[in-house]
A and B are shown apart, each in its own frame.
Chain A
Amino acid sequence: MTQSSIYAPEFARLVDVRPLTELEKLFTIELPNGRSLGHDPGQFVMVSIPGVGEAPISITSSPSRSNGTFELCVRRVGDVTSALHRMEPGDYVGIRGPFGHGFPIEQMRGKDLLFAPGGLGLAPLRSLINQVLDERGSFGRVIILYGAKRPAELLFRDELEEWAARDDVEFHVTVDRGDETWDGHVGVITTLFPLITVDPRNTVAITCGPPIMYRFVIMEMLGKGIPETQIYLSLERRMKCGVGKCGHCQINDLYCCKDGPVFTYAQIKNVPEAL
């Protein structure tokens, strides 16, 4: 008797692999039979390579731009991601998911949106940003504050330029340390907040970045008067199952994979292990 297993991946074809920076590549992936992944912005998939391992990776493409494929922006940092970086178009990777709770886009309609991604934190937020831009009319202001360590670490530079050029997007970018190629803003991401004013009650703020960043960015958001229930963050944890069983991603009593990875600040502010 053959039964299905939530732990058995299905294999999907890499249709494009594009370097974004020294450490990050963008993988465009096609599921069998052109089936759509059917994800919400903010969800993730478990990506596996036979004999190597499996890792949770956020989906960076917008559901509004699926074309029968989806995109993962992956930093080369561990066993699985290093093996993935050695793969080429035509190769196959294991996919399980999409899993988790993403961003509640319906509750964001009509609202002003303040995105504050740091570094690789842009990857999950880009999914939502591009969906919002594709349905631009149903949202208020779109403000994007993006911070990276160095100019060479900025992701999706072509899209950043596009966002900067649009007059319906307020885009500010900063780097912690500049170089000779950089004539923009220098400073950590929090130094961008004084550049904007928001109507706090009508604003939803969204952030994702390295663990160290959340406290400071959330402090800025609260400082603008944005309510705790309107601040969304996406968290990273080790995951082995993606479905709330293996225990690795637990944040106190919450399962990052199942209860998150997107949480409101109100949900996690009293959860000591969250930030």
Chain B
Amino acid sequence: MPGPHAILNYTRRLRGPMTNNRTWIPYLLILPSVAFLALLFVVPLVQTIWLAFSDNGLPSLANMRTMAGDLNFLPSVRNTFLLTIAVVPVQVVIALVMGTLVAKVGAGRETILWIWTIPLGISDLAAGMVWLSILQNTGYLNSLLFSLGLIERQTSWLTYQTPVALFIGIAVAEIWRGTAIVMVIIVAGLNQVPKEFKEAAEIFGAGPWTRFFRITLPLIRPALQSALILRTVLAFEVFAVVYALGGRNFPVLVGEAYTWQNQNQNYGVAGAYAVLIMVISLAATVVYLKAIKVDPERLP
């Protein structure tokens, strides 16, 4: 049975020849946005690449060498990847659970969704400050532990001497802040799964797990793919939450780019980091596009 998209594509194909005499109209319509992107995205991109691969106006790998030789380079690469690996799967699982739960709710569904998306409306840095007020020495967590009699005095969680606690703190804050965006995309995907499929599966005796893995999950692949790409790229660009909680105790790639630009005033090395982050993000996107194959009929 052809899906709704297939039918739509078919009708589009039927209508095709009629608009052939005005093929330039679509191009004209997208021209402003293309020009806008070219001006405000491509030009700075080319400038950044040139900044990264030049030294005193000549092509050079000096900035790349400085970046790779810096004492914080390897830790920042390691930390960024570790954080991405730890945070993204957890966020996807939580978002799936939240999306499935909310699908069963009748009354109050909108309110619950609204509350869950509050972290989405808070800026990164503000989210970092919120968690800082919880985790710092004089923060709420220590107050709670102290009143429960679990600790005798202020305990530090965010220092270079407590790397595990620091990592967990940052990961929890990131999960708190970034899960909503994954959930929004997944809820949108879940809404598009036709009820008939589930009902048919129920009639044939499929349990809830079978229904989830054999029907829901395959059908929300496009949404899952978008969510994973978006979330992973954002995870590689993590900065403000880390900066607020760990400062330079927990170097990450964007943080290093910021430090080279602001503190060290060396735009070339900052550019090198920016290019590296872009390459990693592009590579991750390609991996997801290849790994999670989406039925072309379901593409918009």
Q: Are both chains from one complex?
A: no
Residues of B within 8 A of A (CB): none
Taking beta carbons and an 8 Å cutoff, which residues of A are in contact with B?
A: none
